[in-house]
Amino acid sequence: MFGKKGWLWGGVAMALGAWMLPAAAQVNRPITIVVGATPGGSTDTLARVIAQSMGTTLKRTVIVENKPGAGGNIAAQYVAKSAPDGSTLLMSFTSHTINATLFKNLPFNPVADFTPITMVAQVPSVLVARKNAPFDDVKGLIDYARKHPNKLTFAIGGQGSSLHLASEQFKFATQTDIVNIPYKGTGPALSDLLASDTVDLMFASTINVLPHYKQGTLKFLGVSSLQPLPQFAGLPAIASVVPGYRSEAWFGLFGPAKLPREVTDTLYAAVRQAIDAPAYRQRMESEAATVPTMTPAQFADFIKKDVQFWGDIVKKSGATVE
C-alpha cells in the first residue's frame, strides 16, 4: 500500500485490477482525461493509451476529451475548476510549468490548483523542416536564417509547450530571427509542414515524427538530446553544432487541487499498472521516450522545480504570451 512504508508491488499490484475509486468518486459517469491539445499529438496519444489501461484496472469507463488552445491552459483551467472526486483529470505536458512564467495572467495556479499524480513519459524532440527547404542540416539552417532574417517560420504546436521553448532556445543560442506561427496542436502544425507550402520548420516530439523519418517525408536536421538517438540512426544532435543545446518534454497526469489522498493513491496505482506494462515500455523505447517512476509526492516536487527551471529560460529568451 501507499503510505509511510511505500508501495509494496508484486502480489499487491496484481490485485489492483479489482480496485474501484473510493466512495467520494462513485458517480454515474466515466472518468474523463482532459487533454489540452488536438487529437493525434503526443499528449493525446499517451492519454488514450493510459485511459484504456486505467479503464481495465479500475473497471470504469475512461474517456479522453480534447480541449486544445492557449498552450494547454483551456484544459488546465477546466480541470482546476472541476470537483476533486477523481472523475476529471488532466493529461498535461511541459507547458504546464512553462506557462507559469510565459503567460502574464493565468486564471489558475499551475502548482496550487492541481494534485500531481505521476509522470508517464519524457520525450526529446527533433528539429525538422519541410521537404523542399533550402538547407540540409543545422549549420545550413543557421547560415540561411542569418542571411534571411524573419523569412523562415517555426510552426509552434502549442504555445507554452517545450517545443515552443525549444524554438526560442534555438533562436537565442544561434542569434537568428525566425517567425513563430502558433497552432492549436502538433497534429495541424505537422500537417502544414508536410504540405511544404505554409511553414518551414518545427520542433516535434520523437513520437510524432519517427514514422516520417523512415518514410523520408520531411527533412530531418537534428535531435534535441545531447547525444544522437539510435531510433534516428545517422541524425546528429543539435548540440554538435550548437554546444550545450538540449530540450526535453514530459507528460503527466493531474487531478484538481484537494483530491483526497485515497483517490490519488488509487489513480496512481492504476497509472503505474499502465506504464509498468512491458508493451508500454517497449513502445516508449521504440519511440526514443523514457518512462520515469515518480510517486505523487515526487511528481509534485518535480513540478515545483520545473516551474523555476523554465522560468529562467523564458526570461532569458524574452518570450511572452498575453
Give pLDDT tens digits for 198-235.
999 999 988 889 989 989 999 999 999 999 999 999 99
Residue 18 — very low, low, confident or very high, per pLDDT cuts 50/70/90?
very low
Q: What angle do CA 232, 282, 158 make, to 5 degrees?
A: 60
pLDDT of 92-116, one tens digit each?
999 899 999 988 889 999 999 999 9
Residue 4 — very low, low, confident or very high, per pLDDT cuts 50/70/90?
very low
Beta carbons of 73 and 160 less than 8 angstroms apart: yes
Instruction: Find all residues with CB under 8 Å of 303, minimum gap 6, and list them.
Output: 96, 97, 110, 111, 116
Residue 240 has phi, psi (to 5 degrees) of -70, -20
**Taking Cα atoms as reference points, which of 301, 123, 120 lies closest to residue 208?**
123
**Taking Cα atoms as reference points, which of 163, 171, 209, 213 lies closest to residue 190?**
209
User: Would you state the cell numbers that stand for residue 154, as one nine-digit string?
Assistant: 517555426
The whole-number average pLDDT for the span 78-89 is: 97
**Taking Cα atoms as reference points, which of 228, 219, 186 lies closest to residue 205?**
186
The pTM assigned to this predicted structure is 0.75
**For the CA atoms of 260, 261, 262, 266, what is the dihedral angle to 10 degrees?**
110
